[in-house]
Amino acid sequence: MKQDLTLHVNGRGYDISVEPRKTLADALRDDCGLTGTHLGCEHGVCGACTIIADGEPLRACLMFAVQAEGMQVRTVEGLAKGNEWSPLQKAFVEHHGLQCGYCTPGFLMLATSALEENPQIGDDELRDLLSSNLCRCTGYENIVKAVRAAAAEMEAAR
């Protein structure tokens, strides 16, 4: 039976009605129309569906939508302020940190949560962090470069 709830995503409330078994990823995509969050494995390994909920990076495929009620959810659609991209978005383009772009929203959200917490993140810690998501196109090197460049920009702006 469907259940009514309000999801708070990127500062906006979405009144939706979903079955309790519907994942947060599916609800974001199907019910909120936010298709920037992608599904790559649906069992928490690839990280393509990474979102930020109450400040923490989470796999949206491993949560039910009903569990996200009351949380402040952020997705890739909320990263830019109007037409102004975030430092990470700019850096991914500048450093060719994406090819097909399917894993990109997950990497952007993962890195956003880490850099917002600590733009001075160390190299080893950053490599550990980025190892939690899969990319099949880039070979990762340019993703690391992009995140490093964005970290420097964010640190300078602090």
Partner 1 sequence: MTRDAIGQSLTRLEDPPLVTGRGRFIADVNFPHQLHMRVVRSARAHARIVSISTEAASALPGVYAVWTAADIPEIGPIDFREGKIEKLEPYRQPVLAKDMLRYVGEPVAVVFASDAYIAEDAADLVEIEAEDLAPIIEADAAPGVFAPGLSTEAAILNQGFGDIAAAFANAHAIVEIDVKIGRHSGVPLETRGAIGRYDTARDILELHGAAKVPHKNRESLAKVFGRGTTGLHMFEYHVGGGFGVRGEIYPEDILVLAAALRFERPVKWIEDRREHLVAANQSREQRHKIRAAVDKDGLLLGIDNEFWHDQGAYPRTHAMRVADTTCGILPGPYKLAAYRAIGHYRLTNKTPAATYRAPGRYETNFVRERLLDAIAARLDMSRIELRKRNLVRKDEMPYARPLSVLEDDVSYDSGDYAGLLDKSLERIGWDALQDELKARRAKGELVGAGLALFVEKSGLGPTDGAHVRVDTTGAIEVITGGASVGQGFETVMAQVCAETLGADYRNIRVIHGRTDRIDFGIGAHASRATVMTANAVRAAALNVRAKALDVAAELMQSEPAALDIINGQVVRRDAPGGASMSLGQIAGHLRPHSPTRRGRDPGLSCDGWFDSEHQTYPYGNQIAVCAIDRQTGAVKIERYVIAYDIGRAINPMLVRGQILGGFVQGLGGALYEEFTYDETGEPLATTFADYLLPTLSETPDVEVILAEDAPSPRNPLGIKGAGESGIAAVGAAIASALDDALGVSGAIVQLPVTTQRLKRILRELGK
User: Could you list the residues that contact partner 1 (CB under 8 A)?
Assistant: 19, 21-22, 29, 34-43, 45-46, 48, 75-77, 79-80, 85, 89, 92-94, 96, 98-105, 108, 127-128, 130-144
Q: Nearest distance from residue 46's CB to partner 1, in Å?
A: 6
Query: DSSP string of the chain?
Result: --EEEEEEETTEEEEEEE-TT-BHHHIIIIIS--TTS--SSSSSSS-TTEEEETTEEEEGGGSBGGGGTT-EEE-GGGSSBTTB--HHHHHHHHTT--SS-SSHHHHHHHHHHHHHH-TT--HHHHHHHHTTS--SSS-SHHHHHHHHHHHHHHHHH-
Q: Nearest distance from residue 76's CB to partner 1, in Å?
A: 4
Q: Which is nearer to partner 1, 134 or 152 (CB)?
A: 134
Q: Nearest distance from residue 141's CB to partner 1, in Å?
A: 5
Q: Which is nearer to partner 1, 77 or 155 (CB)?
A: 77
